[in-house]
Structure 1
Amino acid sequence: MSDRDDPVTIGRRVQQLRGERGLTQRQLAEPAYTPAYISTLEAGRVRPSEEALRHIAERLGVEYEELVTGRPARLATDLRLGLTGAQRTLAAGEAERAAEQYAALLAEAELHELADVEAAALLGLGECAIDTGELGAARTYFERSEQTLADAPLPARVPALRGRAVSHYLAGELRYAVYLLESALDELNRGGLHDPDALLLLYASIIGPYMDMGAHARAAQAAEFALALAPQSADPALVARMHRSVARTLLAEGRIAEADASLAKAAELYRSLQLRTELANCHWMRGYVCAQNGELERAEDELRLALKMLAEGRAALYGSQAAVELADVLHRRGKSGEAAELLRDTLSDLSPERGALHSAAAHRLLGIIAEDARDTETAEEHYVRALSLLERAGAAGDLADLCRLLGDLLRRTGRVEAALDAYRTGLGHRTAPGTTTLGPAPAQPPL
C-alpha cells in the first residue's frame, strides 16, 4: 500500500499489540514464520511483505489496514461517507451546515494524515465559503486543497484550482482568474491530459471572466467546448443517493472495498451536480450569442433555462450575470417593466465586494431603461453608481462605454462641461468596449 507506515513504525506497532495480547514472538510467528523474523520485524530492520503482515494481523486480531497505517479499518471509508453527506448538504443549499460537516471531517483527516480526504474537505469548505460570499476564506481553502494535492496529476487538482480562479473572479480580479484557468487548460490539452470532467469544469468556469473582459469570441468557443464535453445523467442526485445507501449496506456487512467503490460513484455524481451550475453558464452564453445575432426569442428561452438551472443549483451569485443578460433581452423585446423588476431583484442579492461587475451591469441597464422612459435624473444616478463600481474593478472597456453613455446624457440635458469630463474619463481608459488584451488562446481539446 502506498500509505503504509515505515518499517520502524510498523515494528513498534506489532510489538505493542503483541504485548497487549500477551503473546510471545514464537506464538505470533507460528506456523508460517520464525521468532527471529518477528524480532527483526519489531526492530524495524526488515520491510515485511503484505503476506507476512496479513498473517500477523490475523494472529493479533486486527484489520490489515489498521496494522500497516495505524488507522481503524473503516476510518477512511467512514470519512468518505461523511464527505458525500456534506456534498449532499451543500447541494441542497445549506452552506453553513455543510461547512460544519466539512470542518469536522477535515480535523479527523488531518489527525490521521489522510491527504485525499483532507483535500476534499478543504475543497468543500471553499465551495461553502463561495456560497456565503466569504471570498478571502474561500481562496485560502482552495489554496490549501491544491497544496495538499501538490504531487497529484493536474486533473485531480483542477477543482481546487478552478475554485481559486472563481474566488478571484468574483472579487473582480478578472485577468488573474483568466490566467489561472487558461494556464490549466493549456497544460491539460498540450500534455494530452484530456480528462473530460476537468476540461468541462475549466471551460464552463472561464465563460464569465471572458465576457467581463470583452473576450466574447473566446467565451462563445469555451461554451461550445463545454457543452460538447458535458456528461449525460438523467438524475444524478437520485443515483448518488442510491450509491450512498448501497455503501451503508455494504459497510454493515463488512464489505469495505465495495462500499468505498460505491461512495466514489456517489461523490462523482455529486460533483456532476455542481457541474450543472457550470452547464447553466453555457446556456447563458448561448443566449448571449443569440441576442447578439438578433434571435431575441431564442435568447430569452436559453437565458430563462440558465436562470432556472442556476436557481436549482443554489448559485445566486452566478445567476446574477444571466439575469442581467436576460433583462437586456427583455428590454429589447419591449418588456422593460419586467426587465427593471428582474434587475432590482438581482441588485438586492449583490454588494460592491460581492459581484461588483454584475451590479455595475445592472445599474447600467437600469440607467438605459430610465433614459428610455425620459427619467434622466434616475438614469444619471444609475450610471454614476455603475461608474464607481467599474472603476473599483478596473473593467476598462466597460468604463469607456459607460462614460460615453453618461456623457451623452449630460450633453442632452445641457451640461456640456460635465459631459466633456465624462468623455475625457472614458478616453483615458484607452481600451475600447468589447476588446481585450489577452494573449494567445489556450490549446484546444480533441473533440
Structure 2
Amino acid sequence: LTDKLLRITGGLPQKIRMLVEVLPEDIDFLVRARLVELNAGSLAVLQLAQLFGRPIAPGALAVLAKVPRSDIEELVMQGFLALDNSGAAARLTVAESYQPHPMLVVADKKTRQKMHGACAAHLQTLQSMDLDESLHEPITMHLLGADRVDQAASHALQAGRWLAKNAALHRSESILTHILDASPSQTQELRLALVDTHVALGQFDRAIELCRGLSSEEEQGIQLRLARIHSLGGDLEAAQKALEILWNQPSMSQAQRELVGVELADVLLRRGDLDKATELCLDALPNSSSDYALAFNHVLGKVAFWRGQWDEAHARYEQVLSDLTQSNAMVDRGDVLHNIGLVSLRQGRYSKACEQIQNGL
C-alpha cells in the first residue's frame, strides 16, 4: 500500500495528505460492498467472531456458528478472517480491515443475547478444562450480554479476585462496577469486593462511602472493615474510635473480639499510646487462641522495641517465630524476621541484622 501511494502521488507530501484525507470514505464503501456480497450465513459467522471478542479456534467458531469447517476456511481465504499465531495453536479473528464495522454488529437483541450465551458456554467449557482463571472476565461480559445477570455476578467475583491478584486493579474495579450497575441479587458480596478493590487502589474515601451504604445485617464486620480502611488511610483517630466501639460490644464472639483486639493494639501502637497497647495485649493474652496470642506477642515486641528495650523485644519476636506455623494468617514470618533484624541493628550486630532482614524478604 505504501509503494502504491508513493507511486500515485510521486512521493509529494501534499498529494499524499490529500489522498489520505479522502480514503476513509472510499475504504468504508469498499468494505461495505464486500460484506454486502456475503450470504447471511457467512455474515453471521463474522458477526459471531466479532462479538466473541478474542481469537478463537477455527473448529470452535464452526461449532458455535453451526456451519461446516469449510465455510470458515473459505472466509479465511477471502481475507475476512485472519489467523492469529500469537499462541501455541492457530486462532482466528475478524481481519483488521473489517473491524469494527457497523455491519458486523448484531442489531436484533434476541439474536445478540443468544450469541453471547453461546460464547459464554464455550468459554465456560474451556475454563473448566484448563482452569484458566483469566477467562472469568470475558465469561462475565458474555453472560451479562445474554442478560443472565446473577450468573454473570458469580463470575465477576472470581474475575475481580483474579484481576486484583494479577495487579489489574482498574480492570477489577471496572468489571465489579459494571456488574453492580446491572442490579444482581449478590449486591452485598459484590460491593464488599469493590470496597477491597478501592482500598487496594488507595481510594480510601470511595471505599468508606461504599462501605457505609452496605447492609446492616453484618454490622460488626462492616465496622471492622471501616476501621481498617481508616487505619490504612492514615486516619488513626477514626480507626481507634471505631475499634473501641467494637471492643466494648458484649455481643461479639470470642474470635471477633480477638481480631478487633489485635487491630486496636496495632492502632494504639502506631498512635504512640504504648501503655494502653501493652495493657490491652496483656489483658487479652490469657484467653486468646494460639494464633491471636502470637499476634498480641508480636505487638508487645514492637512496644518493647519503641521503648528501647532491645532484649525484651528480641525475646518476644523469637518466641513468636518459634511458635509460628505456616497456617497462621495473623502474623507474617517475613515481618517477624525483619523486626528481629531491626533489633540486631540497634544492638550493633550489623552482619546479623543484614542476614535477618534479608531472610525476611
In the superposition, the TM-score normalised over structure 1's length comes to: 0.36
- Structure with higher RCO (Cα < 8 A, 6+ apart): 1
- The higher radius of gyration belongs to 2
